[in-house]
Chains A and B, each alone.
Chain A
Amino acid sequence: MFAAATLALLVTVSLALARAVLGPTVFDRLLATNTIGTCTVLLLAVIGFLTGRPEFLDLALVYGLLNLVGTVAVLKFFHDRQLDDRRRQREATR
Chain B
Amino acid sequence: MSSMLIDIASWICLLAGGAFCIVGALGLLRMPDFYTRMHAASVVDTLGAGLVLLGLILQAGLSLVAAKLAMVGLLLFFTGPVAGHALAKAAMRRGLAPLLADADGALSGSSSPTRKQGAESPDKEDTPSKP
Contact = CB atoms under 8 A, between A and B. Distances in A.
Contact of A27 (B15, B22, B48, B87): B87
A19 B22 CA distance: 13
Interface stretch (B70-78, B99-107, B115-123): B70-78
Contacts of B56: 45-46, 49
Given A19-B28, A24-B112, A30-B87, A1 B44 contact: no
B93 to A, nearest CB: 7
A28 B76 contact: no
A18 B29 CA distance: 7
Interface in A55-94: 57-58, 60-61, 64-65, 67-68, 71-72, 75, 78-81, 88, 91-92
Chain A interface bracket (under 10, 10 to 19, 20 to 34, 35 or more)? 35 or more
A35 B44 contact: yes
A19 B68 contact: no
Contacts, number: 159
B18 A8 contact: yes
Given A12-B21, A39-B44, A57 B68 contact: yes
A88 B127 CA distance: 11
A72 B86 contact: yes
Contacts of A46: 14, 52, 56
Contacts of A4: 14-15, 18
Given A42-B53, A71-B83, A75-B87, A25 B112 contact: yes
Contacts of A75: 86-87, 90
Nearest to A60: B72
A91 B129 CA distance: 8
Interface in B41-67: 41, 44-45, 48-49, 52-53, 55-56, 59-60, 65
Contacts of B26: 15
Contact of B96 (A2, A7, A25, A81): A25
Interface in B2-37: 10-11, 14-15, 17-19, 21-22, 24-26, 28-29, 34, 37
B104 to A, nearest CB: 26
